[in-house]
Amino acid sequence: MYEPAITAELVAKHNLTPDEYQKILEILGRAPSYTELGIFSVMWSEHCSYKNTRPVLKTFPTQGASILVGAGEENAGIIDIGDGVAIAFKIESHNHPSAVEPFQGAATGVGGIIRDIFTMGARPVAALNSLRFGELSNPEVRRLFSGVVSGIAHYGNCFGIPTLAGEVYFDKSYEGNPLVNAFALGVLRHDQITRGAAKGVGNPVFYVGPATGRDGLAGAAFASQDLTEESAEQQRGAVQVGDPFMEKLVCEACLELLATGCVAGMQDMGAAGLTCSTCETAARAGTGIEIELDRVPQRAPNMSSYEIMLSESQERMLIVVQKGREEEVKRIFDKWDLPWAEIGVVTDTGRMVVRHGGTVVVDVPAKKLADEAPIYFRESREAAYMQDVRAFRLDGIPDTSNPTSDLKRLLAQPTIASKNWVYGQYDHMVRDGSVVCPGSDAAVIRIKGDSLPITKAQYAEGQASRMSKPVVTPDKYVAMSVDCNGTHVYLDPYEGGKAAVAECCRNLACSGAIPLGSTDNLNFGNPHNPEIFWQLKESVRGLAEGCRAFSAPVTGGNVSLYNQRGALGAIDPTPTVAVVGLIEKPEHITTQWFKDAGDVILLLGSPMDLDDPLQGLGGSVQLQAAHGKKTGLPPRVDLEAAKTLHTSLLGLIREGVVKSAHDCSEGGLAVCLAESCMSQQIARGTPRLIGAQVELPAPAAGSPAPRLDALLFGETQNRIVITVASQDAGRVLKQCGILGVPAQRLGTVGGDMLSIRSGTTTLESPVAELHDIWWNAIARAMG
């Protein structure tokens, strides 16, 4: 087979620096083959090696009493939820592929994260997503948005996993580079945890799944470079093509195979495909691995060893089998009508050896390839724009003169508007475990006994009697949320990072859940730019502090850099955080919408941070929508106060006095109240609307009167609106005082109008009118 000569130009085309190439020469003791060069290129890309970010990632808290598999150990983290049951979860990005081919890019992002879950031995039971796009007035943005949502819906719906929650933001900074972050969660028993290690010298190595093609070629390397018009066109072939029905078969076959006890190790072929799965499994086990490419199923003729090793064709798994049990494996794969091949063997050499056409085309030390990529300590420098951000004041910015119109404008903003246009395309009821569906602060899913993978005992009994006795497992209620306000992170990366964790945990508290752990997706521009690397370092510092404060250790995640496109520049720094929590009892599950007329509305937390000169308007949607200004320091986060707020709310929920709870975030208090009036859906597209009469408290004696737009639309942190029965209001206010949580009565639920009075000014509108604006804004923008 023809292989080009290794030249300096070819090395550069593979995104390897001269120093990195010199290190390859030292590792091999010779020049690499063309295939080996490609292998080092993908394995030493940022996507696979985290060579620019590993020192920063080590600052995350990763330890906890409930952690069974921690960050960096395997494909996903695993956390104990009691009674021998555990959850596996992770978030990952598919940003560049989605920018090039939005449907397949997003679809295969969902497929990849699902494989990360079942390769751990867990049954996938829930999916979330976090999306970012430019402004919907741009036809190209509408095309990308529609394609991404369709791709997510296609893969998740066909596979049969409920997509239960997420977030979508729209901002000009994402115009050339949308973000598609996909999260999945699965369940398993402690003794079902599977490792991605090539254990047992002499054990055979199996390939299962569809044949390898040329799609997805070197996708990991594509994701580790700036996105340009030229690279997008050249790398269209780096976007994989997904088949969710095939993935469902692979998932079921793998879970059944694990129940036989014949699996020694399992790894999905995700980023870097066959390359990553072979060298990483060998490196984890301290073994070697040899494979024959002639045995690998191929759907394209005359594929080179370079193409086979670097292809990222979807729905493929690498499985190490206990020697002597090959026939069981073949029988199960045949039962599920899956292509399979025995392609290699585990060795004791510590090397990854690849043969093709009778010739050794790859011979590299597995551990050095997988674990010893160069590590860089990039220069960081505070972004120059921060000087203007810090200097910004509200002088010359007029206060609101028509708060009703301002509220309507905010509810029509795509970032704030209902995302029903998105989640209406998703199946969020499949598998019948969904308890709180999209539309509240956090999703809640019930983990039932039949959600768990089949046990070895069940499998053995089923083989003998064709019937398995169910294993009785208490139901578990798991809450999930994903959050990040990229504008706030841009304007203050440290505070924005803290706020992302705080809001995520606040959403869980509003649902009745205690945080267990977190996973993050760090979306940034080019790390070689010191200002962008400063954004990353400061964001991670904030995230780490937030995770420590809420006892939500990081169990893993993903870094996506080089998110920028030509003259459009870099995206706003977007460290997306997903937090998973546990609700002790079903009666503690709480939703955000108002329940009954006559209920009392209370605000927990201070109406405003009196030390904030911008009164919560810095970086707010109100400042952007009403005045066209994206600037000002965003509201700061007091983590101690936030923790006290959350634990106090959870205590009230467990007492049974809280009827609804909703956090204040984008759009501030007025948007929070409006959403509480109209976010409940009785049936798909049929809202339950209920009004509220609110009077905002007057300032304390001697305190200056705050701006009305700040009171209504400021985004001050650590605020939650709850409702309680009228007879419980006094007791709850007294209890909050004892706990040290600021709390005050705002008004009552009832009627068909939302009325918010502040002094002599009243914001007033029929709830039905507000609902129409909020519910239909995105559909109208999409035409």
Which residues belong to the active site? 47, 94
Segments in 325-385 forming alpha helices (H): 326-335, 366-371
- Partnered with residue 582 across adjacent β-strands are 478, 514
Pairing of strands 720-724, 600-604: antiparallel
Sheet hosting strand 351-356, strand order edge to edge: 263-268, 317-321, 204-208, 340-347, 288-292, 351-356, 359-365
**659 DSSP assignment:** E
Residue type at 443?
A
How far apart CA 671 and CA 680 sit, in angstroms, is 15
How far apart CA 237 and CA 719 sit, in angstroms, is 47
How far apart CA 34 and CA 361 sit, in angstroms, is 9
Strands in 584-619 per DSSP E: 600-604
DSSP-derived secondary structure for 675-736 = HHHH--EEETTEE----EEEEPPPPPTTSPPPPHHHHHH---SS-EEEEE-GGGHHHHHHHH
How far apart CA 77 and CA 74 sit, in angstroms, is 7
Tally of CB atoms within 10 A around 59: 14
Pairing of strands 288-292, 351-356: parallel
3-state secondary structure of 148: helix
**Do 689 and 767 meet the contact criterion of CB atoms below 8 Å apart?**
yes
**Do 744 and 603 meet the contact criterion of CB atoms below 8 Å apart?**
yes
Smallest CA-to-CA distance from 249 within 176, 319, 160 is with: 160
DSSP-derived secondary structure for 4-64 = ----HHHHHHTT--HHHHHHHHHHHTSPPPHHHHHHHHHHTSHHHH-TTTHHHHTTS----
* Residues 6+ away with beta carbon under 8 Å from 58: none
**Do 182 and 76 meet the contact criterion of CB atoms below 8 Å apart?**
no
3-state secondary structure of 120: coil
How far apart CA 8 and CA 11 sit, in angstroms, is 5
Beta-carbon-side half-sphere exposure of residue 557 (alpha carbons within 13 Å)? 28
How far apart CA 147 and CA 101 sit, in angstroms, is 8
Left (φ > 0), alpha (ψ -120 to 50) or beta: where does 472 sit?
Answer: beta
How far apart CA 87 and CA 79 sit, in angstroms, is 5
* Residues 6+ away with beta carbon under 8 Å from 17: none
